[in-house]
Amino acid sequence: MKETKIFERPKSMSDVPTHYCPGCTHGIAHRLVAEVIDELGIQKKTFGVAPVGCSVFLYNYIDTDMYEAAHGRAPAVASAVKRIRPDMVGFTYQGDGDLASIGMAEIVHAANRGELITVIFINNAIYGMTGGQMAPTTLLQQKATTCPLGRDPGVNGYPMRVAELLATLAAPAYITRVSVAKPKYVGKAAAAVKRAFQTQIDRKGFSFVEMLSTCPTNWGMRPADAANWVEEKMIPYYPLGDIKVPE
């Protein structure tokens, strides 16, 4: 019998085990990025910027030129590299603590300058690496180790819709929200990542893909329940779909 290989590891993904928890969707998100890099044939002209957070070791998994940035500063790092090396393709990969809390200034200004970079924003409504503290995207009434009774808007304000916030700016070209929590969402997520990179390559402007993701460990759920929670709780507050598309 002749064997035909129909599925393999993307070339731009390193052949190492990841450190992620069972049911975490970082692995899927990484794979989508690596697949697009392969598809576009840009591995050797791409640079990525890893954040501080669970995906701090992104550089171990994506085999392109990589930076490991200070917490929240990935868009500033990527902006400079892209200005100096305009023929490279640059992306940042950031979680909600990194991008929406400590790094809010950097993401807003990089977007506002229309930097020709692609930002992959992992929104799982919690701080993962530090052990489950409240994030700017934590939902109302959602429990976290620093809001043990649930997020109270009178104390902590409201969950931030970063994609919509950035879409108020003139410069960004492509802003979309997808999910990787269940297989049925992944096809659209893959298409969004590809469109984001293509937007950059076509020099149309800044591109941003928010991915609703899971964190079973810090949510205190089984992986299947976490995937359902994204669908039942997160998507109603963070609606999926394109918010701004290139002309």
Write the binding mask 10 to 49 for other proteins: x where contact by CB under 8 A, - elsewhere. Answer: ---------------------------------xxx-x-x
**Shortest gap between Cβ of 91 and other proteins (angstroms)?**
13
Write the binding mask 110 to 149 for other proteins: x where contact by CB under 8 A, - elsewhere. Answer: ----------------------------------------
Q: How far apart are CA 23 and CA 133, in angstroms?
A: 19
Nearer to other proteins by Cβ, of 107 and 120: the residue is 107
Q: How far apart are CA 173 and CA 147, in angstroms?
A: 36
Decide if residue 89 touches other proteins (CB under 8 A): no
Amino acid at position 60, single letter: N
> How far does CA 178 lie from the centroid of its chain?
10
Nearer to other proteins by Cβ, of 25 and 46: the residue is 46
**Shortest gap between Cβ of 228 and other proteins (angstroms)?**
34
Near other proteins by CB under 8 A: residue from 20, 59, 206, 229: 59
Q: Is the dihedral of CA 175, 124, 88, 107 positive or negative?
A: positive
**Shortest gap between Cβ of 159 and other proteins (angstroms)?**
24
Decide if residue 224 touches other proteins (CB under 8 A): no
3-state secondary structure 149-180: CCECHHHHCCCCCHHHHHCCCCCCCEEEEEEC
CB 53 within 8 A of CB 29: no
**Shortest gap between Cβ of 105 and other proteins (angstroms)?**
5
Decide if residue 165 touches other proteins (CB under 8 A): no
Strand (E) positions, 46-167? 46-50, 65-68, 89-95, 118-123
Pick from 123, 122, 245, 247: which is nearest to 195 by CA? 245
DSSP 70: P
Tell me which residues touch other proteins (CB under 8 A).
Answer: 43-45, 47, 49-50, 56, 59, 63-70, 73, 76-81, 83-85, 88, 105-106, 108-109
